[in-house]
Structure 1
């Protein structure tokens, strides 16, 4: 796991999705696909987990103005949110919540990896649960 902290953006794989979303002509489709992949997976792979958490964070920021902790050197997230603050993503909230629940379930590689860290697992999971609550 290429993580340096428990935050959603404290992982190299998360920034791969930031770049993908930032360079997309249809970011809403990326969000939608990430959530559908999670909801249809028997077991959600590591990269797909990050696609869900990053996509949900974008939606949270667009709709609720939440400012997640991102790497100081990577302002693409905030630039994207500012540029797309009028993007209508409200219809994606229910699927975001369902997909995030998969990420913190026993059918998730990311959850499985985090359970090995007794100290940070509750913080990581708590961050995801707070995101779920904001998107309900």
Structure 2
């Protein structure tokens, strides 16, 4: 995974996921987000590419929550997302827990980087406060 910064979309996997969302019909985008979250939750060992897609998905969900940060990076989706189902919020929290868990390659790669960890924790808090 090529990574250039600590943001939720600042890696090749998240940027590619954004491209797949843009290429999908609008009605199918929530299902792609759900799939990325469920894959992360179900993984025995979460590889960094799958984790990056889960984090990007959680960021997109969080952007539609009260207090959430809009996704303004050039590496996020260019096409607007429909209103995402609120039942994705608890899945996003579980996926972020998996990303931060002991069986996560992404956590291993970012271990000791307080900026990255704080960004994930802040996103989790927004999702949790929104009723996850």
Q: TM-score, normalised by structure 2?
A: 0.85
- Over 3 Å counting, the alpha-carbon distance change for 1:88 and 1:5 in structure 2 is closer
TM-superposition CA deviations, 1:63-91 (whole Å, max 9, x none): 335224513xx5x636424xx2xx24211
Deviation >3 Å, runs of 4+: none
1:93 aligns with 2:89: yes
Counterpart mapping for 1:1-136 below 5 A: 1-25=1-25, 26-64=28-66, 66-68=69-71, 70-71=73-74, 74=75, 77=77, 79-81=79-81, 84=82, 87-115=83-111, 118=112, 121-136=113-128
Q: Deviation per CA, 1:91-122, whole angstroms, max 9, x where unpaired?
A: 1100100001110111111111112xx4xx11
| Structure in which a larger fraction of residues adopt helix | 1
Shift of 1:37: 0.9
